[in-house]
Amino acid sequence: MKTLVIDSATEACSVALFDGDALIAGDCRVLGRGHAEQLVPMIQALPGKGRADRIAVALGPGSFTGVRVGLAAARALALAWQVDLVGYPTLALIAAMAAAEHPGKAVTVCTTGGHGEWFVQHFGPDGAALAPLASLAPEAAVAGAADLVAGSQAEALVARRGSGTALPLWPDARAFALLDPALLGTDTAPLYGRAPDARLPGTA
């Protein structure tokens, strides 16, 4: 079964095409911005224009725009191709990437959040989440972090704490095969990680 993987939730934008667990082709670019303009051409550049039997998409957390861009593309392609759509947590993929480099170690994933905060989540050596996702101020993020820290803010967290090992990683769709299949789900509601900045009039 071929799977198209789309991950545009963070500063990185990546796509990959798999046949089972074997990577056919992929691309990963750290853009910061411009995901909406880059994502579809990246998919079209894949063999067969990325056509697959299943689509897997990163649900976040990350930027509101990045999460929405990836989900919109994945949902549109799943509808057009009449294939299954599954989602996965972005930080879990980073944890799996870190575990591949440092097997048997717990890891704290720390990525860029909004308004100066960081998205933080702790994972055990088996890749299972040890605590819920949180959006924290940097000083609060240091507390309870594992010795091994991965993600776009890993170096900043380790520097603030003064100890530990930092793995500056961004989620990469090409590493999708490292992810525990149990983390894939048919619920593709976005994981924004924090409340939206803007609220409708009259809402609490």
Q: Does residue 57 lie in a domain region?
A: yes
Residues 55 and 105 in one domain: no
CATH number at residue 177: 3.30.420.40
The mean pLDDT value for 59-68 works out to 94
Residues 141 and 76 in one domain: no
Q: Does residue 154 lie in a domain region?
A: yes
Instruction: Dump pLDDT digits (tens) for 87-117.
Output: 999 999 999 999 999 999 999 999 999 889 9
DSSP single-letter state for residue 182: G
Please answer whether residues 95 and 127 qualify as being in contact, where contact means their C-beta atoms are separated by less than 8 angstroms.
yes
Residues 154 and 175 in one domain: no
Give the model's pLDDT for residue 33: 78
Neighbours of 128 (CB within 10 A): 12
Residues 33 and 69 in one domain: yes
Tokens 């308004």 belong to residue: 115
Question: What is the extent of the structural domain holding 51?
Answer: 2-89+171-183
Q: Does residue 193 lie in a domain region?
A: no
Residues 75 and 126 in one domain: no
Instruction: Dump pLDDT digits (tens) for 131-182.
Output: 999 999 999 999 999 999 999 999 999 999 999 999 999 999 999 999 999 9
Q: What gap in Å lies between CA 57 and CA 86, rounded to an integer?
A: 6
Q: Which of helix, strand or coil describes residue 178? A: helix
The count of structural domains within the chain is: 2
Residues 74 and 11 in one domain: yes
Q: What gap in Å lies between CA 8 and CA 60, rounded to an integer?
A: 9
> Which H, E and C letters describe 128-177, residue by residue?
CECCCCEEECHHHHCCCCCCEEECCCHHHHHHHHCCCEEECCCCCHHHHH
Q: Does residue 131 lie in a domain region?
A: yes
Q: What gap in Å lies between CA 133 and CA 187, rounded to an integer?
A: 17
DSSP single-letter state for residue 185: B
